[in-house]
Amino acid sequence: YGGECQVIEENILVFNDSCGGLYTKNLLNDDEPTLLTSVNPNIRFGDITISKCLNYVICIQEVHKDDEVVNSLVKVYLNNSNGIQQEPVSLVKGNDFYTSPRISPCGNFLAYLTWNLPDMPWEGSQLCVAKLPKDNECIAESVVIGGIPGKECCTQPKWKCSKNDVMELFFISDRENFLNIFKVKLDYQLNFLESPKNIFKIESDFCTPAWNFGQSEYDILPDGNIICHGNLNEKPTTIIFYPEDSSKRIILSEKYSDLECIQSLKDSKTNNQKIFFVAGTKTDFKALYSVEIPIINENFDTKDLNPEFKVLKKFNELMLDSEFISICESKTFLTKEGKKFYGYLFLPKNKNFCGLKGELPPLICISHGKKLRHKVIKMLIYNLGGPTDYRPSYLETQTQIFTSLGYAMLFVNYGGSSKYGREFRERLNSNWGIVDVNDCCEAALALAEQGLVDRNRMVIKGQSSGGYTTLACLTFRPDIFSAGVSLYGIGNLVTLAKFTHKFEKNYMEVLLGGTLTNNPKVYFDRSPINFVDNIIAPILLLQGSEDKVVPPEQSEKIYNSIKSKNGEIEYKVFEGEAHGWQR
């Protein structure tokens, strides 16, 4: 899904525009950007990395031609003083996907990730290292550091400055179930001096699935230590640890739910380390933060560390009174088979109102700008926007709107979600439309049994694949929820399999246990659009008119079928909106 389409190194900006050209701009002058490549809307660039010598970039090139999409790693030179656009130099090609080109500090080697269909990157991507060729040659040979198709994924490679002809490469791998940080040592002939080693083994994922280019969920600090974020002792924890001995670690904070976009640098004026990241907390909206800390060595006294976290940019300027903020509670649920899954519960909170005695919880029903009947809603249960996604616990506007109006909200990290290890995520393999549906239903019922919500007034809501889970719950377990809201939810798995894009072309083979050709019955049987007669709850469908992933025809068929039987359904089309709604 793209990313890293612009990058800055020192005073040099390189970026890709929507027309398909790659440009460079010196930020120290007012000159217009220089076009490096020809402009072609069928060619796209991303995941751009600038060489330390500032004379070229390495990036992903994606070429669209007819019905074929070809991905490769290419080099583009930054010196274009003659004004003639150049053809990118092909470095590596042949596999279905490439990502994360990272040039070594010495400038002579390249680390990159690659994988082939039917895998998604979190199912079987490989980490490779190669010696960079001179001039316009292709890479002759690459060494595989880690990753096994369908069994192990590697992600987020990062180099550490080399010493004495020894290179250290860090990366994240799930070879031991959880996405932990590994290190490998190589010489300049790319021989292993030390095999890949898990340097901080805990039962927590340090990153999320690679849906986009440029994800950075840990970093190597200027002093050589590692900053990362994971669940330590069942608490979301920001940690700095010594890579040679992870028992030597510092708890930087237990405030943030998740850290993204982690970057660090050395301040030349103070000689301190500055760390930048994006995060949210249970009481604060997502923001860009910075924190400055001293250089940390083995003799550093942690008592001298007094980090001051500064907000550099708020992504939501809304100021909420703390007496209106519903703080989430972590919940652990059990499947009927006794397996654990998880969720975050937000209970109603409003300092100006309280619930009626004996009622769970106080009722305010809002849907499509008008009140629904008294029976419809008492608890909202949200599921994820992607089968392998994860819902953290940070503050969010929509959640607080509903809780201030008297709703309880539950975000379900069902079996198949990320952040709980590979085995947990693989519960959804062959079971999409079963595990996610049952977990959402069982979580809702568990809260009702605990006396936290009204069993007879629950609604389920989701978007995209979360909308699929919503439609599947209403179709295949129609006695659980009293209403549902689907935002561009997938209703027809057959259509999705036939017309989806290259990145997710074979995704459903894993989720449904086979292809449409060899397993058509499963695709039919798990498509809610084929069983809408089962739906008895009121439902709201929200749809983009330009959606190519979930075409409006799917929502229209569901709407017409339910409407023809006098069922309760509303259908709203947003003109010009595509999948995901960006306008």
On the question of pLDDT at 122 being above 90, the answer is: yes
**pLDDT recorded at residue 127:** 98
pLDDT at 563 over 70: yes
Give residue 229's pLDDT band: very low, low, confident or very high (50, 70, 90).
Answer: very high
- Helices 435-449, 465-476: inter-axial angle, 10-degree rounding: 70
pLDDT mean across residues, the chain: 89
| Cα(202)–Cα(179) distance, integer angstroms | 9
| Confidence at residue 392, expressed as pLDDT on a 0 to 100 scale | 85
3-state helix, strand, coil in the chain (%, to 5): 15, 40, 45
If you average pLDDT over each of 70-74, 133-137, 313-317, 448-452, which comes out highest?
A: 70-74
pLDDT for the residue 371: 28
Average pLDDT over residues 533-556: 92
Q: Is the pLDDT of residue 136 over 90?
A: no
Mean pLDDT of 511-526: 96
pLDDT for 407 beyond 70: yes
- Report residue 2's pLDDT band, with 50, 70 and 90 as the boundaries: confident
Supply the pLDDT for residue 390: 86
- pLDDT class of 44 with cuts at 50, 70, 90: very high
Please name the amino acid found at residue 550. Answer: V
Please tell me what DSSP assigns to residue 427.
Answer: G
- Phi, psi at residue 145, to the nearest 5°? -85, -40
Task: Inform me whether the pLDDT recorded for 357 exceeds 90.
Answer: no
Looking at residue 379, its pLDDT comes to 55
Mean predicted confidence (pLDDT) in 353-366: 58
φ/ψ of 428, rounded to 5, equals -85, -15
Q: 127 - beta bridge partners?
A: 113, 146
pLDDT surpassing 80 at residue 380: no
Q: What is the 3-state secondary structure (H, E, C) of 282-319?
A: CCCCCEEEEEEECCCCCCCCHHHCCCCEEEEEECCCCC
What's the first-to-final CA gap in the chain, in angstroms? 17
**How much is the average pLDDT of 481-497?**
92
Distance separating alpha carbons of residues 486 and 474, to the nearest angstrom: 10
By DSSP bridging, strand 379-382 and strand 458-463 are parallel
Q: Which one-letter DSSP state was computed for residue 530? A: G
DSSP E strands: which ranges in 414-568?
A: 458-463, 483-487, 539-544
pLDDT at position 365 is: 21
Range of lowest pLDDT (21-25, 137-141, 318-322): 318-322
* 318-337: average pLDDT: 92
Q: What is the pLDDT of residues 146-156, one digit of tens each?
A: 999 999 999 99
Is 50 exceeded by the pLDDT of residue 537? yes
Residue range 87-106: mean pLDDT, rounded: 95
Token representation of residue 423? 């085995």
Yes or no: say if 59 and 101 are a contact pair by the CB < 8 Å rule: yes
% of the chain beyond a pLDDT of 70: 94
Strand 287-293 versus strand 329-334 pairing type: unpaired
Which residues are 256's β-sheet partners?
281
Is the pLDDT reported for residue 181 higher than 90?
yes
State yes or no: pLDDT of 382 exceeds 60.
Answer: no
Show the CA angle centred on residue 266, arms to residues 264 and 268, nearest 5°: 150
- pLDDT band (50, 70, 90) for residue 165: confident
CA 271-274-278 angle, to 5 degrees, is 180
Residue 367: pLDDT above 70? Answer: no
Indicate whether 383 pLDDT > 70. Answer: no
Question: In the structure, what pLDDT confidence band is assigned to residue 188 with cuts at 50, 70 and 90?
Answer: very high
Q: How far apart are CA 581 and CA 572, in angstroms?
A: 13
Tell me which residue has tokens 């978007």. 463
pLDDT for 368 equals 20
pLDDT-based confidence at residue 484 (cuts at 50, 70, 90): very high
Residue 375 scores a pLDDT above 60: no
Q: Which pLDDT tens digit goes with each residue over 244-299?
A: 888 888 999 999 999 999 999 999 899 999 999 999 999 999 999 999 999 887 77
Measured CA to CA, the distance from residue 426 to residue 511 in angstroms comes to: 9
Q: Is the pLDDT of residue 361 over 90?
A: no
Alpha-carbon span 194 to 209, nearest angstrom: 27
Please name the helix (run of DSSP H) or strand (run of DSSP E) that holds residue 495, with its range, or none: helix 493-499
Q: Is the pLDDT of residue 378 over 70?
A: no
pLDDT of 215: 93
Bigger pLDDT: 371 or 231? 231
Q: Is the pLDDT of residue 422 over 60?
A: yes
Tell me which residue of 437, 8, 515 sits closest to 263, measured CA to CA: 8
The three-state secondary structure class of 372 is coil
pLDDT at position 338 is 95
Order of strands, sheet of 408-413, starting from the edge strand that comes earlier in the sequence: 329-334, 340-346, 408-413, 379-382, 458-463, 483-487, 539-544, 569-574
The least confident of 2-6, 173-177, 264-268, 424-428 is 2-6
Select from 289, 183, 277 the least CA-distant residue to 228: 277
Residue 366 has pLDDT above 60, yes or no: no
pLDDT on residue 363: 22
